[in-house]
Amino acid sequence: MSAIPETIPRRGGAREARRAARSAELPDHLKPVRPGMNGGRYKPLSEADVLKIHHAALDALETIGFADAPQSGIDAMVKMGAKLTDSGRLLFPRALVEDTVANAARHFVLHGQDPKYDMEPWGDKVYFGTAGAAVHMVDAKTGAYRESTTQDLYNIARVVDTLEHLHFYQRSVVCRDLPLPEEMDFNTTYACVSGTTKHVGASWVAPEHLEQSLKMLHMIAGGEDKWRERPFVSQSNCFVVPPMKFAFDACKCLEVAVRGGMPVLLLSAGQAGATAPASLAAALVQETAECLAGLVYVNAIKPKAPAMFGTWCFVSDLRTGAMSGGSPEQALLSAASAQISRYYDLTGGTASGMTDSKVPDAQCGMERAYNHALVGNAGANLIYESAGMMASLMGFSLESLLIDNDLIGAVQRTIRGIEVTDESISLDTMRQVCLEGPGHYLGSDQTLQLMQRDYIYPTLGDRSSPNQWEERGRPSLVDRASTKLEGILSTHYPTHIPQHIDEAIRAQFPVRLPREAMRAG
């Protein structure tokens, strides 16, 4: 066969028309993709499967329950109907869990500092963002790993701020230049919210650190009431130490977030074969049970407080016990978890795209892509860890972040799907081309109309021919990303926080990012 049509006429007229068509900027609603595309066409689980997992999770909560709840949580949850056993485990009767799900907050907006980045992550809508917490930055060209810093965290925020297909920024790297936990927690939040106006996710190791950050967030919002109207930072909270134990400090942070009007990502990060069962179905049961327990906790502290159902079940390479973020089993677990949160009509958050590769190579590309294609098309509402993460979350690559933006755009295009309408399947164009026209569709009205609305183009991906690529000196993808990255880092310094607010923050709190690091030099 000849795979490439050999004789496509290349008439100047059609070319000119295409050139004119693509020079016109499209309004947002006509772009090929937009934030919050509707997924759900991939269903790894049947409806019966989801129900089985749900019932097994209720059984686990009722008969195994949780160890290690803090006294404040025990008091609140027992009041709602939980039962404390003699051995100190908290059991959750079915009715308590079912009532909690029925009455929990749903369909709440996750705000950006800029309202144009507000997200509505419910139903089948899909948003992609970063997460963490890598401890290294990766040199994409050499593969060298070095410790990550506050400056890196801020730089990643600035880059995410410019990328069309990254919809939120959860802190990606740990500020290893700040060994004091209270400084690290505060500066993590500061660097993120200074670097982007998109919704931010962060985490805190102690409740008093969160209280300090909330004070800063009130200042940025223009007062506590304004913050509570549009909270633009959510808390990523590992309230559970899988299997089935509460994490004391995280639970205390959870209580502060709930009372402070901050949405909470209830993050159950078990690892199948290590801290969760090796059976993928049983791992989903445990994840579901754990997130439901977190939901009970949140609603016991404050009914209808906004919480995301964070079923982040990781995968072990069972030969070594180490995490394998890029595995196909990971894609299945994350995609299935989207169906489970959808069953509860809760905002679901999960992880996807966590390659095991150390550099942005073909392994990285493929592992991210089969995960994103399936998790995105399953309709996960909030897809964390989706860009830049290397080595199963151990490192972060800025070049990969740019490359992954292309990938997410492409995956969003697949989520959008194919519109089959009377207009889109009309035979008029085919009839004209075959019976009257030039015998091809290159310059047809339909082609010109659809070339920007229905087709997405990569910003870094190269579609030139081998000859054209050769003539340009065989530029590598990483080099192309690196060039683009330098342009962003040297020019994009967000200024949405007014200088007097920033000065007031610096006067009151231990900001460690120098002002000169936050403007063009």
CB burial class (10 A; 0-12, 13-18, 19+) of residue 180?
Answer: exposed
d(C-alpha 54, C-alpha 521), whole Å: 55
Closest separation in Å from C-beta 361 to a second copy:
5
Instruction: Give the residue among 26, 21, 39, 22 at the shortest CA–CA distance from 413.
Output: 39
Closest CA to 158 of 174, 148, 169: 169
**Residue 144 C-beta: closest distance to a second copy, Å:** 8
CB of 172 to a second copy, least distance (A): 11
Are the C-beta atoms of 341 and 288 separated by less than 8 Å? Answer: no
**Least distance from a second copy to the Cβ atom of residue 133, Å:** 6
Between 426 and 490, CB nearer to a second copy: 426
Q: Residue 222 or residue 438: which is nearer to a second copy going by CB? A: 438
Burial class (CB in 10 A: 0-12, 13-18, 19+), 327: buried
Residue 121 or 243 having the CB closest to a second copy: 243
Neighbours of 500 (CB within 10 A): 8
Closest to a second copy by CB, 154 or 314: 314
Instruction: Name the residue among 172, 159, 168, 169 with its Cα closest to residue 125.
Output: 168
- Which among 425, 443, 423 is positioned nearest to 433, based on CA atoms? 443
| First-last CA distance in the chain | 57
The residue (of 218 and 413) whose beta carbon lies closer to a second copy is 413
For residues 410 and 128, the answer to whether their CB atoms sit within 8 Å is no
Q: Which is nearer to a second copy, 132 or 231 (CB)?
A: 132
Query: Least distance (Å) from a second copy to the CB of residue 85?
Result: 10
d(CA 498, CA 503) in angstroms, rounded, equals 9
The length of the chain in residues reads 521
CB of 194 to a second copy, least distance (A): 21
Q: Which is nearer to a second copy, 185 or 502 (CB)?
A: 185
- For residues 370 and 328, the answer to whether their CB atoms sit within 8 Å is yes
- Of residues 263 and 360, the one with the C-beta less far from a second copy: 360
Nearer Cβ to a second copy (50/119): 50
CB of 307 to a second copy, least distance (A): 15
Q: Give dist(CA 291, CA 310) in Å, integer.
A: 7
Distance CA 423, CA 211 (A): 56
Closest separation in Å from C-beta 31 to a second copy: 14
- Specify the amino acid at residue 472: R
Q: Can you tell me the distance from the alpha carbon of 376 to that of 386, in angstroms, rounded to the nearest whole number?
A: 10
128 and 413 in contact (C-beta within 8 Å)? no
| Nearer to a second copy (CB atom), residue 229 or residue 428 | 428
Peptide bond into 133 cis (omega under 30): yes
